[in-house]
Amino acid sequence: MKTAVIIPCYNEAKTIERVIKDFREHLPHADIYVYDNNSTDGTYEIAKNAGAIVRKEVRQGKGNVVRSMFRDIEADCYIMADGDNTYPASFAPVLEKEVLEGRADMAVGDRLSSTYFEMNKRRFHNFGNVLVKDMINFLFHSKINDVMSGARAFSRDFAKSFPVLCKGFEIETEMTIFALDNNFRIVEIPIDYQDREEGSESKLNTYSDGFKVLKTIGMLFRDTKPLTFFSIISAILMAVAIAFFIPVFVEYIETGLVPRIPTFLASVTLGIVSGMNFFAGIVLSVLRKQHRQVFETNLNIIRMLDKNDK
């Protein structure tokens, strides 16, 4: 069984050498890959001198880096961590065991059940993590503790079938929703978290990247649960249409006249649009089911090809 440690990096010269050494200590049998994402502080050279397999990804953004990692690297287990030394490498053997022993397709290092809120000094980051977790658990009827953890382990099935759509820090959210939607086995293990060292700056913008994460949740909810998504829109539009129509109807009953023609037309139009949204949800849900069938077929093909290679 082959394990690959994959570390996306952007300007982590201060910490990357220590991260590589820690992973080599805890996973001496693993290959350690560092993908440099246009760093300007010497991260590439430091990682290479520390003994990692270093490659470059010129398309900016963590999502772009993960896409290249999953495409390029062949392994049975992929251990992902950030290069900022916020995740002690001691988590890696535990998550690796969950994947290699077949209990998880995605094993997540759960920070929020451990030391995250004590160590992380960025209040809005704390709030954002809880908000995203609660939204996903509500929309997808799940019980995930830490949606945005950067410490994860993946099976080969997951890595080779995961279609990376986002470009940036929304990648962890996208991974979580993909795993939930496609019935992959998810295991969460509480791990310690330590805040960034002094002089090491976060690349995550609380507001702009937070908005991108929320937008990603909305889009993936639409794409993975179209009937529910469009039924909600349909119900809202129908409620507004009824609210417009009732006064017009009451007036018609009392006088036999419809003096507020614009209001009447608006209610009819909203009712039609409501119906269109509902039927669009039905059609898209059927297409979604067909997509799931194709996905499962392709996953079986991936497994069959892997067995033939072995």
Counts of helices then strands in the chain (DSSP H, E): 11, 7
3-223 fold: Spore Coat Polysaccharide Biosynthesis Protein SpsA; Chain A (3.90.550)
CA distances to 156, 296, 306 from 66, rounded to whole Å, are: 14, 22, 21
32, pLDDT greater than 80: yes
Q: What pLDDT shows up at residue 123?
A: 58
Report pLDDT for 109: 94
> Any idea which of 44-58, 166-180, 205-219, 238-252 has the lowest mean pLDDT?
205-219
Residue 276 has pLDDT above 90, yes or no: yes
> Does the pLDDT of residue 216 top 90, yes or no?
no
Q: pLDDT band for 310, please (50, 70, 90 cuts).
A: low
Asked which of 190-204, 210-224, 267-281 is least confident by mean pLDDT, the reply is 190-204
pLDDT (tens digit per residue) in 87-103: 889 999 999 999 999 99
* Average pLDDT of every residue of the chain: 89
Distance CA 43, CA 83 (A): 10
278 versus 215: the higher-pLDDT residue is: 278
Q: Which residue has the higher pLDDT, 123 or 229?
A: 229
**Distance between CA atoms of 270 and 182, rounded to whole angstroms?**
35
Residue 204's pLDDT is 64
Whether the Cβ atoms of residue 213 and residue 148 lie closer than 8 Å to each other: yes
| CA separation for the pair 127, 300 (Å, rounded) | 40
Q: Is the pLDDT of residue 203 over 70?
A: no
pLDDT band of residue 301 (cuts 50, 70, 90) is confident
pLDDT for 47: 96
DSSP code, position 98: H
Which segment of 58-67, 204-213, 256-265 scores lowest on mean pLDDT? Answer: 204-213
CA-based torsion, 220, 221, 226, 231: positive or negative: negative
Mean pLDDT of 251-262: 88
pLDDT 10s digits, 108-151: 999 888 766 665 556 556 777 788 899 999 999 999 999 989 99
